[in-house]
Amino acid sequence: MTNLNLTKLEETILSVLIDHLYAEPGFSDVSPQDLSENTGISMKSIRGVLASLVKKDIIWIGDNDCQGIDFMMIVYLEESHYNLHPEWNDC
């Protein structure tokens, strides 16, 4: 994750996100709550770090919606950064 100019928290969150992206390229079921639980970082800090990673075009946040009811945010790795994932590197 060199050359991305990440803070230590951004690097931690991005690393945990990538570790939890287990399926085909582009798929995610990782929520901000998952990131908080897996790192011990408060949701307030997670929100700030995710906002920063979105501004840097490294991740994007999608709404998982069930029959029109928004119930969970999902964190995705931007396609331009699939190379950060060891199994998505060739995509």
pLDDT, tens digit, for every residue of 5-56? 999 999 999 999 999 998 899 999 999 999 999 999 999 999 999 999 999 9
Output phi, psi for 18, to 5 deg.
-60, -40
From first CA to last CA, the distance across the chain in angstroms is 17
Structural tokens at position 20: 């939890």
Q: What is the pTM of this model?
A: 0.87
Contact 38, 52 (CB under 8 A): no
d(CA 66, CA 3): 38
At position 13, the amino acid (one-letter code) is I
Dmax over Cα atoms in the chain, in whole Å? 41
Q: Which CATH architecture has domain 8-79?
A: Orthogonal Bundle (1.10)
57 or 64: which leads in pLDDT: 57
